[in-house]
Amino acid sequence: MTTPNDLQYTPTHEWIRQESDGTVTIGITDHAQQQLGDVVFVEPPAPGRQVKKGEECGVVESVKAAADIYAPLSGEIVAANGELADAPEKINQDPYGAWMFRIRPSDPAELTGLLDAAGYDKVAAEDQH
Structural domain tally of the chain? Answer: 1
Instruction: Say if residues 94 and 126 touch (Cβ distance below 8 Å).
Output: no
Burial of residue 64, with CB atoms counted within 10 A of its CB: 0-12 exposed, 13-18 middle, 19 or more buried: exposed
The answer to whether position 51 is within a domain reads yes
d(Cα 98, Cα 13) in Å, to the nearest integer?
14
Q: Report yes or no: 72 and 99 within 8 Å, Cβ to Cβ.
A: no
Strand ranges across the sheet with 39-43? 39-43, 56-62, 66-70
Task: Please report, in tens digits, the pLDDT of each residue of the chain (129 residues total).
Answer: 689 999 999 999 999 999 999 999 999 999 999 999 999 999 999 999 999 999 999 999 999 899 999 999 999 999 999 999 999 999 999 999 999 999 999 998 999 999 999 999 999 998 875
Query: What is the reported pLDDT for 129?
Result: 56
Which CATH number goes with the domain that contains 73? 2.40.50.100
> Is residue 28 a part of any domain in this protein?
yes
**β-bridge mates for residue 76, sequence order:** 50, 104
What pLDDT shows up at residue 1? Answer: 64
What's the pLDDT at 7?
97
Which of 44, 35, 26, 48 is closest to 85 using CA atoms?
A: 44
SS3 (DSSP) at 101: strand
Would 88 be classed as within a structural domain?
yes
Beta bridge partners of 105: 75
Say what the pLDDT of residue 127 is. Answer: 80
Considering the entire predicted model, what is its pTM? 0.94
In a domain, 125, yes or no: no
Residue 128 resides in a domain: no
User: Can you give the residue range of the structural domain that contains 27?
Assistant: 8-111
- The amino acid at residue 108 is P
Residue 123 belongs to some domain of the structure: no
- In sequence order, the β-bridge partners of residue 70 are 56
